[in-house]
């Protein structure tokens, strides 16, 4: 198993799976690596809600304008948290500098990948993890997905045939339940010397219609339509923002001002 994962990491390393973008004259001011959720690196899987090219697009523009070397981790959707964390650790090593630490900004499952990599795999280059819309304490959506695929319900077939989402291929789903994260808390706990801070996405206006429908169907407590607000906190509380799970990292104009407010809050925390 370890040899196989090592081969996967090597292959992704040879392919150069981090895409850094340089902006501004002072590129050494900070290094920001954006860590997407399950479908942030897979355009086919994410197309129902957001195109891969738009995922974190405004984040890249914002931090490049601040003079930061900015990149986005590439983490395939059909892997477990441990497998994604191994890839993340390897990408952080290539992205880091001998003189500058790396700041991780994570969304959705990406936050769990980052926490596991920091605590269990070790990433000494990382001194700060900022997150938004992360199921730090799990989400009822994951439990619902497990139930649908085990029973092959109408919802399972609807998502598989109409939306091309096969729940049985989501190997990470069982690792995002509240029960799993509570049992394995030691692998995700805080690491001394690392600054943790999180923002809560709590959508109140212009929410994505599919997410609004899904949150009522499951149901999901108040939050971003996928993650309850209470589950999104880990470390310092950076406040609440009127964003849903997609608009948090998307480019829709209706949420542009609120997304900029979130990015500004992240920037303040980085100073």
Assign 77 a pLDDT band (cuts: 50, 70, 90).
Answer: confident
Q: Name the strand (E) or helix (H) holding 201.
A: strand 195-201
The CA distance from 131 to 235, in Å, is 10
User: Percentage of residues in the chain with pLDDT exceeding 70?
Assistant: 86
pLDDT digits (tens, 9 = 90+) for 82-136: 999 999 999 999 999 777 799 999 999 999 999 999 999 999 999 999 999 999 9
pLDDT digits (tens, 9 = 90+) for 198-214: 999 999 999 988 888 87
- Mean pLDDT, residues 18-43: 66
Under CATH, to which class is 15-136+189-270 assigned? Answer: alpha beta
The CA distance from 260 to 255, in Å, is 9
- Mean pLDDT, residues 210-230: 87
Q: What is the pTM of this model?
A: 0.86
Q: Is 161 exposed, middle or buried (0-12, 13-18, 19+ CB in 10 A)?
A: exposed
Most confident of 20-24, 95-99, 253-257: 253-257
Residue 204 tokens, joined: 């109140």
Residue 266 tokens, joined: 């992240």
Please determine, for residue 235, whether its predicted confidence score (pLDDT) is greater than 70.
yes
């Amino acid at each position: 198993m370890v040899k196989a994962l090592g081969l996967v990491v090597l292959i992704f390393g040879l392919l150069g799976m981090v895409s850094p973008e340089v902006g501004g004259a002072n590129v050494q001011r900070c290094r920001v690596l954006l860590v997407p959720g399950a479908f942030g690196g897979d355009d086919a899987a994410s197309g129902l809600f957001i195109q891969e090219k738009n995922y974190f697009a405004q984040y890249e523009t914002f931090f490049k304008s601040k003079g930061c070397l900015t990149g986005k981790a590439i983490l395939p959707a059909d892997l477990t948290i441990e497998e994604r964390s191994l890839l993340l650790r390897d990408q952080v090593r290539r992205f880091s500098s001998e003189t500058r630490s790396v700041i991780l900004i994570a969304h959705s499952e990406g936050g769990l990948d980052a926490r596991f990599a920091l605590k269990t795999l070790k990433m000494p280059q990382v001194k700060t993890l900022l997150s938004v819309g992360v199921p730090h304490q799990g989400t009822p959506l994951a439990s619902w997905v497990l139930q649908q695929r085990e029973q092959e319900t109408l919802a399972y077939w609807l998502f598989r045939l109409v939306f091309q989402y096969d729940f049985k291929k989501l190997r990470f789903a069982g690792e995002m339940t509240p029960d799993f994260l509570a049992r394995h808390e030691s692998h995700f706990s805080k690491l001394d010397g690392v600054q943790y801070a999180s923002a809560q996405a709590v959508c109140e206006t212009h929410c994505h219609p599919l997410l609004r429908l899904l949150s009522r169907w499951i149901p999901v407590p108040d939050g971003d339509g996928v993650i309850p607000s209470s589950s999104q906190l880990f470390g310092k509380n950076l406040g609440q923002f009127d964003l849903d799970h997609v608009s948090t990292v998307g480019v829709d104009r209706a949420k542009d001002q609120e997304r900029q407010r979130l990015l500004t809050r992240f920037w303040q925390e980085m100073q």
